[in-house]
Amino acid sequence: MPIKVLIPTPLRSYAGKQAVVEVAAQTVGEALSHLVAQFPDLRKHLFSEDGKLRSFVNVYLNDEDIRYLNKDATPVKETDTISIVPSVAGGR
Amino acid sequence: MALRISRNLLDELRQHGEDTYPHECCGILVGDFDETGGKSVKAVAACGNTRTDSPQNRYHINPVELLRAQREALLSGHDIVGFYHSHPDHPAHWSATDLAEAHWTHCSYVITSVEKGRAVLTHAFLLQGQEEDKHFEDEAIEVSA
């Protein structure tokens, strides 16, 4: 079942300039795998060399951070939206 | 390439820095990218600073606020074009921490120096490159009436 993945501004050039990509998946992990399979240039911007999500990349299933759900194994359904949200922080 | 913003919206983000002084304020800039790489700001969304452990020199925007802003921008046909924060009693220039924690390339990072509670200078910086070689470039701010 296709679900939507929202692509943030800085990553759209690696996803065919699309703000929303649909992928077929049963879990969040599967959705992200299919996403980077479809757009290989996205991989290094989302994942470190050990295959884990980069620390500043937040992934939400609807309004929930997947870190507080079941991470990659979080199941998804057709009406769900996965959002990729790079962090914003800093200071003097 | 420049960041275009109305006087009202610029005043709004500067005022936010005064309101939160001596702590850093932070927020999201919503607008549009143009074909030349410039941007126009249509709205300023003030955010909370989750760095309650060190708000006088650190800021962090709750990803939930980013998520909602991104979603709403998409629905309204706009985009997240940048972010703003303040430097209490410190120059309006990016720091090593600002660069290390910046990940939204092609977006503007706007910084306001707030000295003794009054907003002084506001400068914009464009994040360029990829994570491994990212850097800030000075970006002109064009203020409209």
This model of the complex carries an ipTM of: 0.94
Report if residue A50 sits inside a domain: yes
CB-CB under 8 Å, A8 with B80: yes
**Total CB pairs under 8 A between chain A and B:** 96
Domain count, chain A: 1
- Residues with Cβ within 8 Å of residue A84, at least 6 apart in sequence: A5, A6, A7, A8, A11, A46, A57, A58, A59
Q: What is the DSSP string of B128-145?
A: ES-GGG-EEEEEEEEEE-
The answer to whether the bond into B22 is cis (omega within 30° of 0) is yes
pLDDT digits (tens, 9 = 90+) for A23-45: 999 999 999 999 999 999 999 99
Give, for B7, the enclosing helix (H) or strand (E).
helix B7-20
CATH number of the domain to which A41 belongs: 3.10.20.30
Task: Tell me what the pLDDT averaged over chain A comes to.
Answer: 95
Q: How far is A23 from chain B (nearest CA, A)?
A: 18
In angstroms, rounded to a whole number, what is the distance separating the alpha carbons of residues B101 and A68?
22
- Which tokens is A64 given? 């929930």
- Report the 10 Å Cβ neighbour count for A53: 18
Give the pLDDT band of residue B105 (cuts 50, 70, 90): very high
State pTM to two decimals: 0.95
Report if residue A91 sits inside a domain: no
CB-CB under 8 Å, A91 with B97: yes
Give the pLDDT band of residue B36 (cuts 50, 70, 90): confident
Confidence (pLDDT) at A50: 93
Q: Is A88 an 8 Å CB contact of chain B?
A: yes
Closest CA to A42 of A28, A27, A32: A32
Task: Tell me what the pLDDT averaged over chain B comes to.
Answer: 96
In angstroms, rounded to a whole number, what is the distance separating the alpha carbons of residues B88 and B112?
8
Confidence (pLDDT) at A1: 66
Residue A37: domain span: 2-86
Instruction: Tell me which residue in B64, B97, B131 faces A90 most closely, judged by beta carbons.
Output: B97
CB-CB under 8 Å, B130 with A45: yes
Report if residue A46 sits inside a domain: yes
Instruction: Report, as an integer, the average pLDDT of A82-87.
Output: 97
A contact residues 24-43, partner B, Cβ 8 Å cutoff: none
CATH code of the region B2-144? 3.40.140.10
